[in-house]
């Protein structure tokens, strides 16, 4: 099969495109014909070696954790899916080696849910990691109907999902972004706030009665500036800054969860959540997709298309 892989840690230039062995299908996995994947910052951070201390790595490494594809062969113990089913998944393993930037992937059932019927393969592939990160962050802070929720980095891949999920759950959503993205945030259902100097004053003006929950997808000092306005100190979560634990909040490292993933599929199918794609690259241009992600300021997600898109 064709895949993107690398033999040593480094930047996008270490990525190669070529032949790799087909994956073996374990009893609790399914073999997928991959139609699309997507780029997350964790992908190029792993490629650079930043997570070497946390995850055992076996070269050559095929990067990628997001997948959308068609089941070819279920494992011997799999009853949840059969050949021909269209699925999405956050196919994270406990080791780094066999990722999703490939024509075929053996994905564990615990990572999969059915693909939303009303979106393209590329759109579907942007849902798992970013959507689950948003979902689990909002769940961690107990976001619910009637809450005023502040989303830091609302225009990013995770933030776009968080805004839509919190809105679907009946919340009022404030979100930070640069001014050029304010109309975009409004289109998602959020009230935009410019990040940076003076943010505290802007929060006070927008939410004079305070914030019920805060979720941070960027790090830095902005989420700290929002804490004085948080009614309940522990209702803050960050996926970037583990100092949040010192404030009584939650540090989030997203987990595969088929129940949460199915909930996202259902929100997409009823039109409450829509994937936002900033750009799309074919598999052989994965290095360019990495470079685009590293440059930052991406509105939504970067998708990788693989094989037949029909």
CATH code of 243's domain:
3.40.50.720
| Residue 262 lies inside a defined structural domain of this protein | no
Place of tokens 């979100």: 175
The answer to whether position 227 is within a domain reads yes
The count of structural domains within the chain is 2
Distance from C-alpha of 176 to C-alpha of 217, rounded to nearest angstrom: 10
Whether the Cβ atoms of residue 3 and residue 20 lie closer than 8 Å to each other: yes
> Is residue 265 included in any domain, yes or no?
no
Characterise 84 by phi-psi region: left (phi > 0), alpha (psi -120 to 50), beta (else): left
CA proximity to 88, closest of 136, 156, 139, 38: 38
Query: Distance of CA 173 to CAs 50, 188, 217, 277, Å?
Result: 33, 10, 15, 21
161: its two tokens: 């999902």
Q: Are residues 46 and 145 in the same domain?
A: no
148 with 122, same domain? no
One domain, residues 54 and 14? yes
Residue 298 belongs to some domain of the structure:
yes
Phi/psi for 109 (5° steps) reads -60, -35
Last residue of a domain, one of 205, 236, 251: 251
The whole-number pLDDT of residue 263 equals 98
| Residues 201, 152 share a domain | yes
Are residues 121 and 158 located together in one domain of the fold? no
pLDDT of residue 286: 98
Say which CATH number the domain at 110 has: 3.90.180.10
Range of the domain at 297: 2-127+275-305
297's tokens: 């300021």
- In this predicted structure, the answer to whether residue 296 has a pLDDT above a threshold of 90 is no
| Whole-number Å distance between alpha carbons of 272 and 134 | 14
What pLDDT does 297 receive? 80
What integer best gives the mean pLDDT of the chain? 97
Record the tokens describing residue 296, joined without a space: 């930052």
Closest by Cα among 186, 164, 53, 27 to 109: 27
> Quick one: pLDDT band at residue 27, thresholds 50, 70, 90?
very high
Of the pLDDT bands very low, low, confident and very high (cuts 50, 70, 90), residue 46 is: very high
The reply to whether 268 falls in a domain is: no
The closest of 131, 194, 208 to 164, measured between CA atoms, is 131
Provide φ and ψ at 68, rounded to 5°. Answer: -135, 130
Q: Using one digit for the tens of pLDDT, what is the confidence trace for 57-75? A: 999 999 999 999 999 999 9
């Amino acid at each position: 099969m064709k895949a993107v892989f690398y033999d040593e840690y480094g930047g996008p230039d270490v990525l190669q495109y070529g032949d790799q062995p087909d994956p073996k299908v374990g009893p609790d996995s399914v073999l997928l014909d991959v139609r699309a994947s997507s780029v997350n910052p964790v992908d190029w951070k792993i490629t650079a070696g930043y997570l070497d201390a946390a995850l055992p790595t076996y070269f050559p490494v095929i990067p990628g954790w997001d997948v959308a594809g068609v089941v070819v062969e279920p494992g011997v113990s799999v009853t949840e899916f059969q050949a021909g089913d269209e699925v999405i998944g956050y196919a994270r393993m406990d080791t780094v080696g066999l990722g999703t930037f490939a024509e075929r992937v053996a994905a564990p059932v615990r990572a999969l849910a059915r693909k939303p019927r009303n979106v393209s393969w590329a759109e579907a592939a942007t849902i798992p990691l970013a959507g689950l990160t948003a979902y689990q962050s909002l769940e961690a802070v107990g976001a619910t109907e009637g809450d005023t929720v502040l989303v830091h980095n609302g225009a990013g891949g995770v933030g776009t999902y968080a805004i839509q999920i919190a809105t679907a759950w009946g919340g009022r959503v404030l979100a930070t972004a640069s001014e050029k993205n304010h109309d975009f945030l409004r289109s998602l259902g959020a009230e935009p706030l410019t990040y940076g100097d003076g943010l505290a004053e802007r929060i006070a003006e927008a939410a004079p009665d305070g914030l019920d929950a805060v979720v941070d997808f960027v790090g830095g000092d902005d989420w700290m500036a929002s804490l004085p306005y948080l009614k309940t100190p522990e209702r803050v979560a960050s996926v970037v800054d583990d100092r949040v634990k010192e404030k009584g909040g939650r540090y989030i490292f997203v987990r595969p969860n088929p129940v949460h993933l199915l909930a996202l599929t259902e929100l997409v199918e009823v039109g409450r959540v829509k994937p936002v794609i900033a750009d799309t690259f074919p598999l052989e241009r994965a290095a360019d997709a990495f470079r685009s992600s590293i440059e930052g300021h991406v509105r939504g997600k970067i998708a990788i298309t693989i094989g037949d898109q029909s």
